[in-house]
Structures are given as C-alpha cells and as structure tokens.
Amino acid sequence: MQRAVSDIANLSNRWSRQHKAGLAVNLRALLLVALTATAQPMGALASDPNSGTATGLPVPRFVSLKADHVNVRGGPTREHDVSWTFARSGLPVEIVAEYDNWRRIRDWEGAEGWVFHSLLSGKRTAVTIPNPRQKDALLPLRDKPDGGAAVTARLQAGVFGTVKKCTGAWCRFVGPGYDGWIEQERLWGVYPNEKVE
C-alpha cells in the first residue's frame, strides 16, 4: 500500500511538472499571438533602415559644407581626434550615418569621418568626375538637357559647382564663369536617376 501511494505521488508530481511546463508553453504562445495581433506593423516598430536615427531624413544623402573650416573627427564627439580639416565651404559630402548631433560623412575621394551637424548645409553642390572611357577628356556643359544641344563650356574633372536642378539624366550645374547642363553621371554629389528641384 505504501508503494502504491508512493507511485501515485510520483505520477502526480510528474504529471504536475509536465502540465506546468505545457501550460507555460501554451501561455507563452498565447502571449505571442496576443502581442502580434495588437502590435503595429514591423516597419512602424523598427525605424526605417534608410532613415537617419537623429533626423529621420534619408541616409545616405548628399549635403554640402556650410563653413570654410570644418574639422573631421575620428568619432562622434569633440573628444575624438581631428583626422583632417576641410578649408572650403560648399564642398559636396555624403552623409552615411547619424549619431545624435553628429554626421558621418564621406567625401568624393572616399574618406570618411564625423562632423557636427551645424557645419553642414542642405544646399546641393557637386564635383565633376571623369568619363571612365576617356579620363582626360573635357566634360561638355550644354545649354539644354540634351546630348545634341550646343556646348557652352568644357570642364575638367574636379570642378566644383552648385546643382540647381536634375532631371534624372541631366543636371543644371553652375559655378564661376559657367552655367549649363551636364550629364548627371558626370557629377559626384547627386545619385543616379535622382531628381533635384
């Protein structure tokens, strides 16, 4: 009799542990279903991977330097060493990351570092880049956004200017002594097929 009571107690304890484990699994599953049913879509919970964490603006994006003296640092604080300094305003840079009030930028040569946000401007500028098939050829600037339009100037690679407008294939590019349309793929400072108003 003693053994029968002991066997029943063991069976009861085993059933109780299994039942509790099963109940816990069922409760977890029920909780997961309830959370999923009431939750917002995943896009609303997680930030857009193409948006900056500090501004919500697209990343990457092109901007320009606002100041004549811009320190580029190794990290997003003033305690980080200055890696180099830009000494000309209006240069195009690409924001590739954001952290608080700091922006990680890339220049047209591919160098990256951190700058304080107030040293950047939304003004769109660009630099001419060579045609890979004719590296030393001058780049034609035309009076209309058309390959058959009259040439108003010829620019070397490395010329900086302001982007006034882009159609997705052509950009109106303006600088000291020139104003005209250039093929969009000949500029670093605008994305392929990007439209700029």
Could you say which residues of the chain have pLDDT below 50? 1-47
Which pLDDT belongs to residue 188?
A: 98
Which pLDDT belongs to residue 109?
A: 94
Query: pTM of the full predicted structure?
Result: 0.73
Give the residue carrying structure tokens 């900056």.
52
Which pLDDT belongs to residue 149?
A: 98
Helix (H, G, I), strand (E, B) or coil at 134: strand
Which pLDDT belongs to residue 54?
A: 85
Which pLDDT belongs to residue 132?
A: 85
Give the residue carrying structure tokens 């003693």.
2
CATH no. of 61-123: 2.30.30.40
CA atoms within 13 A on the CB side of 168: 1
Architecture of domain 126-188: Roll (2.30)
